[in-house]
Amino acid sequence: MYRLIRPLLFTLPPETAHQAVFGMLGGFGALLGAPPRERPRTLAGLRFRGPVGLAAGLDKDGELAAFWPRLGFGFIELGTVTPAPQPGNPKPRLFRLSESGALINRMGFNNGGVDALVERLQRLTDRPCPIGVNVGKQRTTSLEDAAADYATCAQRAAPVADYLVVNVSSPNTPGLRQLQDASSLREIVGRTTDSSLGKPVFVKLSPDLEAEALEEAVAVAERAGAAGFIAANTTLSRPEGLGPRSAEAGGLSGAPLHPRTCATVAAVRRATRLPLIGVGGVHSVESAQALLDAGANLIQLYTGLIYQGPSLVRTLHEALP
């Protein structure tokens, strides 16, 4: 069915199509029936229903938290959320590169605030898989005060989250990636961990970090109490052949990101034995397996789901070892 409606959706602006799909799924999600059989994994003390997760960014405010497991996701990650609501960057801020299976976004942490997400998750009557909450800093908060924002979000979200994710790698909040520097990252991870009520804290890293900086970030975060890592966020790089739309500012996701993701996953794995989730460019069984071969324990989807449709989730869920 998705193959039939995708051409229509792709005539709409990307963010409008996103909202339309959310409306449809919210109304008809129950028609999907039961989720596929479990393919359990245990990681960071959590039991994941399967190897394929929903990446942060698609459902920032948890509007469809009850729906995603029906597709076959073994875990879902919501957010990024900030201490207070914020509108994000001006529209348009999401762009398709359809021939490349890619997106460029400069959303800017648009979300309804951590308290709204917490209230929504408190109303969930069924939690068939782990739910992660990805947290960030308010756009107006200085870099010097950023750790307080992460700690605030962690403290509020921890009672309803199974794990937390420190997002210091989005390219769309000015200066945010500077928080991957050793001194900033040490304080942010430490304070987030202290506020997490014992829930595992993952750190999401950029694929654009140089090798030495990436290795240092992993070591600093591990010493500060991180339970694991997510590699990687979107990239500011632009591989050749993407077309004129690739000149849009923002982070690139989708198939062209995949080689860089594999390299980042492999580099993180060389630097740590902690749990590692791979995300970026997964669009097939082969691309998912490549991240596992590079050292990831689990994988996540976002852009691949937009282009391939919901069937990709179950295909990966059943095919991955």
Contact 225, 195 (CB under 8 A): no
Q: Taking phi first (over 0 means left), then psi (-120 to 50 degrees means alpha), and beta for anything else, what does residue 295 get?
A: left
Mean pLDDT of the chain: 95
Percent of the chain with pLDDT over 90: 86
Q: What is the separation, in whole angstroms, between the first and last Cα of the chain?
A: 27
Q: What CATH number has the domain spanning 2-319?
A: 3.20.20.70
- Concerning whether 195 is annotated as a catalytic residue, the answer is no
pLDDT-derived band at 18 (thresholds 50, 70, 90) equals confident
89-118 tens-digit pLDDT:
999 999 999 999 999 999 999 999 999 999
DSSP, collapsed to helix, strand or coil, labels residue 23 as helix
Choice among 170, 195, 206, 253 that is catalytic: 170
| pLDDT at 72 (0 to 100) | 92
Domains of the chain by residue range: 2-319
- The predicted structure's pLDDT at residue 7: 80
More confident residue, 225 or 11: 225
Length of the chain: 321
The pLDDT confidence band at residue 30, using thresholds 50, 70 and 90, is low
Look at residue 33 in the predicted model and tell me its pLDDT. Answer: 64
**Which pLDDT tens digit goes with each residue over 60-76?**
999 999 999 988 999 99
pTM over 0.85: yes
* Helix (H/G/I), strand (E/B), else coil: 239: coil
Q: What are 227-253's pLDDT values in tens digits?
A: 999 999 999 999 998 988 899 999 999
Report which of 120, 290, 136, 129 is spatially closest to residue 203, judged by C-alpha positions: 136
Query: How many Cα atoms occupy the beta-carbon half-sphere of 129 within 13 Å?
Result: 30
